[in-house]
Structure 1
Amino acid sequence: MAANFSQGLTIGDLADRTGLAVSAIRFYETHGIVHPVRNAGGHRRYGRHDLRRLSFAMAAQRLGFALGKIAELLADLPDHKAPTKRDWTRISNGFRADIEARIAALEDMRDKLDGCIGCGCLSLKSCQLYNPADVKGEEGPGPRNLVITTD
């Protein structure tokens, strides 16, 4: 059955158009990604703009962005109208800086990893990836946590 856009999309219509489960749409709603209105019967109705917001959120998550960050960026946009090209450009510029930082961190890790491939032990005092300057030895015997962040 075709959606009646003048009355808004039902949650089922939105699920069909986005490929998301109804429960996922409700989850996104609780995080402020979409903002349905209620009709006279109390049923959720979504606008076409919600298709764009959900699609954007799904794409951003695939790029590794946390839902909280996505919701934070979308919170600055109008709830019940389609974001403009200018809005998306501003958001994408923020994402671009984050992606560039991730690329730099990955390149740094790759370059340090190249120095360890020859020995394979990763525990030498000179290991630049896991234990630069053998600082982990001061924390006691045994392996230590490796946490690589891009923040």
Structure 2
Amino acid sequence: MTTIDPDKKALTVGEVARRSGVAVSTIHFYESKGLIKGWRTDGNQRRYAREVLRHIAIIKVAQRTGIPLETIRENLSALPEGRTISAKEWRVLGAGWRAELDERIARLQRLRDELDTCIGCGCLSLADCPLRNPADALGADSAGAVFLDRPAEAGYDAVSTSKPTP
């Protein structure tokens, strides 16, 4: 069994749930995915260090911005154990997510801009629809929302159905 410094109060799963605002099942899920760590007492009860509250707050913020759990786990595993992260460590963690967030923002802005002409138009004319895919021209590349999913830097034109030329 893992022990904890008796001067440092360990939290039960219920206390963590109440203080973090997430369900007990979510805490167990986070632990099963390696996002947080706990231990069992000699009486087989789950306990968590107080720092887990900060980790859960980070997880919630990161999830809200769409960062995948695996990326969150990798970043959290690089943080020191047994203490709350410093402001400098938080900046480093945030900087690691910045490029991914910037790319996601760019994709969403592109989607918004491409949909501006579609929303409310009813696509009465396929000749004018920027999201058309005549004869499944993009079917060989992938399935799904091909026009809206393409990275802008790949050079695709919303109206064109051909691949960009290098």
- TM more than 0.5: yes
Task: Say if 2:40 is the partner of 1:38.
Answer: yes
Amino acid at match of 2:132: N
Summarize the Cα distance change of 1:122–1:100 in structure 2 as closer, same or farther, 3 Å threshold: farther
| 1:126-137 correspondence runs (5 A) | 127-128=129-130, 130-131=131-132, 134=134, 136-137=136-137
Aligned position for 2:51: 49
Summarize the Cα distance change of 1:127–1:38 in structure 2 as closer, same or farther, 3 Å threshold: same
Aligned position for 1:114: 116
The answer (yes or no) to whether the contact 1:36–1:47 under 8 Å persists in 2 is: yes
Q: Distance in 2 between the 1:87 and 1:54 partners?
A: 16
Q: Distance in 2 between the 1:149 and 1:69 partners?
A: 21
User: After the TM superposition, which of the residue ranges 117-126 and 50-59 deviates more from structure 2?
Assistant: 117-126
Q: Distance in 1 between the 2:124 and 2:77 partners?
A: 44
Q: Which runs of 4+ in 1 moved over 6 A?
A: none
Q: Which runs of 5+ in 1 are unaligned?
A: none
| TM-score (norm. length: structure 1) | 0.76
Identity, in percent, stands at 39
Task: Say if 2:60 is the partner of 1:61.
Answer: no
Q: Distance in 2 between the 1:83 and 1:50 partners?
A: 11
The answer (yes or no) to whether the contact 2:123–2:129 under 8 Å persists in 1 is: no
The answer (yes or no) to whether the contact 2:20–2:57 under 8 Å persists in 1 is: yes
Summarize the Cα distance change of 1:125–1:75 in structure 2 as closer, same or farther, 3 Å threshold: farther
After superposition, what is the alpha-carbon deviation per residue over 1:12-58, rounded to whole angstroms, capped at 9, x for unaligned? 11111112221111111011111113333332221111000011101
Q: Distance in 2 between the 1:80 and 1:117 partners?
A: 51
Q: Distance in 2 between the 1:76 and 1:150 partners?
A: 32
Indicate the structure with greater helix content. Answer: 1
Helix, strand or coil at the partner of 1:48: coil
Aligned position for 1:79: 81
Report how many residues are paired. Answer: 142
Summarize the Cα distance change of 1:40–1:66 in structure 2 as closer, same or farther, 3 Å threshold: same
Q: Distance in 1 between the 2:88 and 2:54 partners?
A: 14
| TM-score (norm. length: structure 2) | 0.70
RMSD, matched Cα: 2.9
Q: Which runs of 5+ in 2 are unaligned?
A: 1-5, 152-166
